[in-house]
Structure 1
Amino acid sequence: MIIDTIQNAHKYFSIHPLFAKAFAYIQQTDLANAADGKSELAEGLKAIISNAPGKTKETSLQKFECHNKNIDIQLCINGVETIGWKPREKCVSPKGEYNDEKDVLFYDDAPDMYFQLTDGQFAIFFPEDVHAPMIGEGQIKKLVIKVKK
């Protein structure tokens, strides 16, 4: 997992061939005024913008998730978002089976830590990062970019 501000995004371009395109989209888009929805940015790159009320920890933890095929770049556009995190190798209680179509596996474990993102801060979740996003009060506008591994 990586946590940083959008000003430092260039430091991560070398991690994956699509990261430069993903962060260029972030820099070139008026995210504050962008409508909710999904869009294909390029082959292997999908953007999802949402603006929704924050959830309780308990509600978010019902979908304590990780992915096998995608890396998530999650950017807080507006609001304060708390996210729970735990390394996948320490999770012991899967909730059902991996859903290949939706690329998601849920766990019934508790996070090792929580952290907050606010305007212009992002987290990158790799397949080994189990995460519970959207914890908070009030509206949280965020962007999730799915990067095919």
Structure 2
Amino acid sequence: MIVAPLSEFGTYLNLHPLFERVEQALITLDFSKPGEKIYIDGENLIAIPSFNKARSAGEAPLESHDKYIDIQICLQGEETMGWRERQTCSAIKEPYNSDNDITFYSDHPTCFITLKPNQFAIFFPSDCHAPLIGEGFIKKVVFKVKLAM
């Protein structure tokens, strides 16, 4: 997991060939239509803007992904996310769904981070995360970056 201000995103461009496209998309794309997937490079790079009511930590299950890296960027509000190392999760709540590339767990996070507007978190397949914890509404965009291209 990586957490940083959006102004430092360029520091991480060398972690994946598509991260540079993410940086360009942040400058050029409109994220005002929540729930509408934006295909930037087919299934290799997708942006999903959202505007959701926050939930309590107890309502936010840990999740993990096998095929994609998540780059979650807070645009408005404050979003707390739970985190736990995937290899320590043992209680599967919902088994892997290959169509949505997601597994849900009943395990609890071992720590929490809070993103303010213009901050981001990068979650790799080795990270479990529980998003959308907080109060009020959270506007964000999630970039799904395919591991193997």
The two structures have a TM-score, normalised by structure 2, of: 0.93
Supply the distance in 2 between the matched residues of 1:140 and 1:39 (Cα, whole angstroms).
Answer: 19
The SS at the match of 1:42 is coil
Matching residue of 1:135: 133
Q: Hey, which of these two has a bigger chunk of strand by percent?
A: 1
Supply the distance in 2 between the matched residues of 1:97 and 1:57 (Cα, whole angstroms).
Answer: 21
Quote the offset at 1:30 in angstroms.
4.8
Matching residue of 1:48: 48
Quote the offset at 1:100 in angstroms.
1.1
Q: Which amino acid aligns with 1:19?
A: F
Supply the distance in 2 between the matched residues of 1:139 and 1:126 (Cα, whole angstroms).
Answer: 25
5+ long unaligned stretches in structure 1? none
The SS at the match of 2:60 is helix
Deviations, residues 17-76 of structure 1 (Å, cap 9, x unaligned): 000101211123354xx2212110113000100111111111112xx1000000000000
Match of 1:95 among 93, 96, 100: 93
5+ long unaligned stretches in structure 2? none
Question: Displaced runs of 4+ in structure 1, greater than 3 A?
Answer: none
Matching residue of 2:12: 12
Supply the distance in 1 between the matched residues of 2:28 and 2:118 (Cα, whole angstroms).
Answer: 13
Structural mapping, 1:10-89, within 5 Å: 10-31=10-31, 34-36=32-34, 37-43=36-42, 44-61=44-61, 64-89=62-87
> How much is the aligned-residue C-alpha RMSD, in angstroms?
1.1
